[in-house]
Amino acid sequence: MVGYPIQPGFIWTCSQLRVFSCEIGVSSTPGKFTCYIFQDSSAFSFTICLPSGWTVLLFSGVITLISEKLFLDHKNFWPAFKIHFAIGLSCFCIASFIITKNTRARELS
């Protein structure tokens, strides 16, 4: 392939992910360049980028992890998996409903 220093693959993807993560981290911290560029703008918060109701999504993820530790049994996998899957699916549905409701309410106002 022309234009790539190495063949794009898993290692190249991991390297690019590390570079992009560092760029986002550096640009999000207040420094001389960032303060100079954004000196006339209002404060920016990353919580604006998150969907409304993101705390419910985070809470449902924690509940799913707890149900994995409590119910999932490797010797009796399928019956335990059904319980764990039902808990995870119900948490996801509740979180999706709340995020959709809050997003529509935000768009209308």
The model's pLDDT over 35-88, given as tens digits with 9 standing for 90+, comes to: 565 566 666 566 666 677 778 888 988 998 898 889 888 888 888 889 989 998
In this structure, are residues 34 and 27 in contact, taking their beta carbons and an 8 Å threshold? yes
**pLDDT value, residue 87:** 92
* Crossing angle for the helix pair 77-108 and 54-71, to the nearest 10 degrees: 170
In this structure, are residues 61 and 43 in contact, taking their beta carbons and an 8 Å threshold? no
d(CA 91, CA 94): 5
pTM: 0.54
Asked if pLDDT for residue 93 goes beyond 60, the answer is: yes
